[in-house]
Structure 1
């Protein structure tokens, strides 16, 4: 089980780096979105949240609970392409480090 423990540690570290990068980009919100916005059933809550809000209030929040409670992690992830789309046209380097971290998280979760 050392492999699972190592994976959990890598995921936890990646979650911290994603949070740090959201804060560095000034994309970390202090105010929680409405309960209705958080209940979206659309992928990435595209109908109710900005992508960075989804990362903060849905993805990071849920993943932190899974890691802390040692619950099974998702096995499919495709956040990096969504981040690339979100940051397209916002400047060459805007979101570059965040996208890199999300690519790593995608690989960690998919086992690639």
Structure 2
């Protein structure tokens, strides 16, 4: 596994930790229909934190662990930093910072 993949896995663990500390991590998997949404970020079927937990993190983790190419571009942080997502959440700044690091790692 290369350095970039290891860095991504570490950042994904950080993101999971921040989501858990903010009580945004859930135990129950959404339905297959909810996960099969074709809308960006599954906005029609999932909350943003669910998309991070059940789509974003697992997909990037698989790519990093199996040595597959990462996406050429990632721009997820603005969903939190520029919007109303996680307003009032204690770990919001940490979540934004980690997502910015993931975006930069993938996009550069």
Higher relative contact order, chain-length normalized (CA < 8 Å, sep 6+): 2
Q: Which runs of 5+ in 1 are unaligned?
A: none
Matched position secondary structure for 1:76: coil
Task: Say yes or no: does 1:99 pair with 2:96.
Answer: yes
Moved over 4 A (4+): none
TM-score (norm 2): 0.92
Which residue in 2 is equivalent to 1:6?
3
Alignment map for 1:1-112 (pairs within 5 Å)? 5-84=2-81, 85=83, 86-87=85-86, 90-91=87-88, 93-111=90-108
Q: Which runs of 5+ in 2 are unaligned?
A: none
TM-score (norm 1): 0.89
Q: Distance in 1 between matches of 2:65 and 2:89?
A: 35
The Cα shift of 1:93 comes to 4.9
